[in-house]
Structure 1
Amino acid sequence: MRCQPFLGQSHLVLRDNLLGWQEGNVTAFLASAVTAAYPELVGEPYRDADGREYLPMLGTPVMVMVADGDRLASIRERADTRGLRIGVYTADLFATGNDVDNRAAVASVATEKLDLVGLAVAGERRVVDKVVKGARLHP
């Protein structure tokens, strides 16, 4: 499947019934998915007035949104049909403790059966906006 080039828009969509710690965890992992897929989006290191250097961050806005499980599934389907690169976080990943087990948990479930709790959608802004339609900004 051909993927769209990244032109400055990414959305993280979380399931709307997550606990606070789960929201933070899913957000962090999905932001890392965007960073891994598009390393050119990482800005320069930060420096304070004393010259101390801090880690660089994504240099583009990342919108965090919420949706129910059915909407997450439809967002994944719309992203697939448009050839967008996506990151997934499933409920099974809350019970794993490392990347190998995370990938095995996702690999053990068919696409349509994934229990999605979060998605990262990245691509051209007008396309991404259409794909995430129906999700709302995180409160």
Structure 2
Amino acid sequence: MFDTKIAFIVRNDLPTWQRLNVVAFLATGIASAAPEIMGGTYIDARGRHYGNIAGQPMLIFEADLMQLQNVHQKAIERTLTLIPYVHAMFSTGHDEANRQVFRAEDADNMDLVGLAIRGPQKAVGKVLKGLALHK
């Protein structure tokens, strides 16, 4: 049905509120990187208009740090759309500070807490191989 796949991977040692927070931020990154995934406006039976949401399913997986780093590397090698979230971003209060702490990360050994990935079905599937869906 869809030629692309969207997945979020969150670190399995985070408290629930942080996992949800990470996925929410990563979802905005996917929507920004691929605005064509957005569906139409929702209208209720009284004619009231609501916002739109993505028209494509998104899967959420969980992983440990090593698995996240592995997925990160594989996604880079396959040039997939990739949005990372690192642990240091929890300590900031705004977007500019997020970008500063992200830039300070060791690019080959990021302290990842989440990733969003979008790309061709088969390529994303290979990158996610062995990961479990979030429970």
TM-score bracket relative to the smaller structure: over 0.9
1:132 partnered with 2:122? no
Match of 1:3?
A: none
- Equivalences, count: 134
SS at match of 1:78: helix
> Which AA in structure 1 matches 2:97?
D
Correspondence for 1:86: 82
- Structure 1, unmatched stretches of 5+, are 1-5
Question: SS of 2:62's equivalent?
Answer: strand
Once the two structures are TM-superposed, the CA of residue 134 in structure 1 deviates from its matched residue by 1.8
TM-score by length of 1: 0.93
CA distance in 2, matches of 1:47, 1:20: 32
In structure 1, which of residues 27, 30, 34 is the aligned counterpart of residue 26 of structure 2? 30
Indicate if the aligned counterparts of 1:71 and 1:134 stay in contact, CA closer than 8 A. Answer: no
Mind listing any 5+ residue stretches in structure 2 that lack a counterpart?
Answer: none
**Aligned to 1:113, what secondary structure does the other structure show?**
coil
Coordinate RMSD, CA, aligned: 1.2
User: Structure 2 length as normaliser, TM-score?
Assistant: 0.95
- Residue 110 (structure 1) shift: 2.2
Map Cα deviations across residues 84-135 of structure 1 (whole Å, 9 max, x no partner): 1100001111111111111111011121131000000100011101001121
Q: Percent identity?
A: 37
